[in-house]
Amino acid sequence: MSSAVINKDVTLKVGDTIPEGTFKYVPYSPELADNSATGTPQDYNITAEWKGKKVVVVSVPGAFTPTCHQQHLPPFIQNYPQFVQKGVDILVVISANDPFVTSAWGRISGSPDKIIYASDMDASWSNKLGLATDQLSKVGFGVRTQRYALVVDDLKVTFIASEGGLGLEHSSAEKILAHL
């Protein structure tokens, strides 16, 4: 496995153990299907959840934003079976939105029961990796998670792809599948 890092600020390296962290998320349940319920946010401890598993982490600056919602997320949903065929146990999408927003995004996108939609609300976990961004503060969005993707195998990083901006050159589903 290799790295497609293009952002000089990334502190995480291939071969590193993933830093500890806890996201918030709303686990999918049938009660959420009609969109009138909101669910209850729970902790998602990555060390406990990812130990012994192959995980693909996709980070986006914001749910429901044009590039994230229309271009970045859909190929991960469409190619979900290919990720599973390549040995991926868990596919996680994170953003700096709150867990109610990430949960709604998963339901609207049509994949709430396959993909974990988690919240790195203040981008603190992404910041540990050198993958938070303040590019969007100038338009009132504050610190966000960058657009990036990781492959983690039993808590070890095997691939990193950071856009260093808002494009989709390195962190697309197709690029990640090619590296698995």
Residues annotated catalytic, as ranges:
68
Question: Looking at residue 84, what DSSP letter applies?
Answer: H
Name the residue among 116, 133, 160 with its Cα closest to residue 61.
133
Task: Give, in degrees to the nearest 5, the angle at Cα 67 between 14 and 96.
Answer: 60
Q: Judge whether 8 and 27 are in contact, CB under 8 Å.
A: no
Report the C-alpha gap between 110 and 143 in whole angstroms.
28
DSSP classification of residue 179: H
Q: Bridge partners of 7?
A: none
Calpha distance 120→84 (Å, rounded): 24
